[in-house]
Amino acid sequence: MNSATVMTIGMGALEVTLMLAAPLLLATLITGVVIGAFQAATQINEMTLSFIPKLLVLALVMALAGPWMLHTLVDYTRELILGIPQLIG
C-alpha cells in the first residue's frame, strides 16, 4: 500500500462523509435562517423557538434521507472491505 492509495481511500471517505452530512446540514441551515428572519422581524428572542424547529426538520430529513444515507454508507464500506485483497497484494 503506497501513499497514493491511502490518499485515494481518504478522499473517498471524505466524499462519503460530505454526501451524508450535506442534507442534514443544509436543512438545518435553511431552517435556522428562516427562523432567524422570523425572530428578527417579530423581535422574539426565545432560544427554544430556534432549537425545536431545527430538531424537527432534522428528524424529518433523517426519516426521508435515512435509507439513502444508510445505503450509501453500506456500499462504501462493502467496497472498502472487498478491496482489501488488492491493497495487501
Q: For residue 13, tell me if it sits in a domain.
A: no
Q: For residue 11, tell me if it sits in a domain.
A: no
Q: For residue 10, tell me if it sits in a domain.
A: no
Coil, strand, or helix at residue 44? coil
Q: How far apart are CA 22 and CA 17, in angstroms?
A: 8
Q: Considering the entire predicted model, what is its pTM? A: 0.81
pLDDT in tens, 44-54: 888 888 899 99
Q: For residue 62, tell me if it sits in a domain.
A: yes
Per the CB < 8 A criterion, the answer to whether 8 and 42 are in contact is no
The residues near 31 (Cβ < 8 Å, ≥ 6 apart) are 53, 54, 57
pLDDT reported for residue 24: 96
| Measured distance between the N- and C-terminal CA atoms of the chain, rounded to whole angstroms | 8
Q: For residue 37, tell me if it sits in a domain.
A: yes
Number of domains in the chain: 1
Domain that residue 82 falls in: 19-88
Q: For residue 4, tell me if it sits in a domain.
A: no
Q: For residue 67, tell me if it sits in a domain.
A: yes
Q: For residue 52, tell me if it sits in a domain.
A: yes
Per the CB < 8 A criterion, the answer to whether 73 and 16 are in contact is yes
Residue matched to cell numbers 428562516: 34
pLDDT reported for residue 1: 75
pLDDT reported for residue 28: 95
pLDDT bin (cut points 50, 70, 90) of residue 27 is very high
The amino acid at 89: G
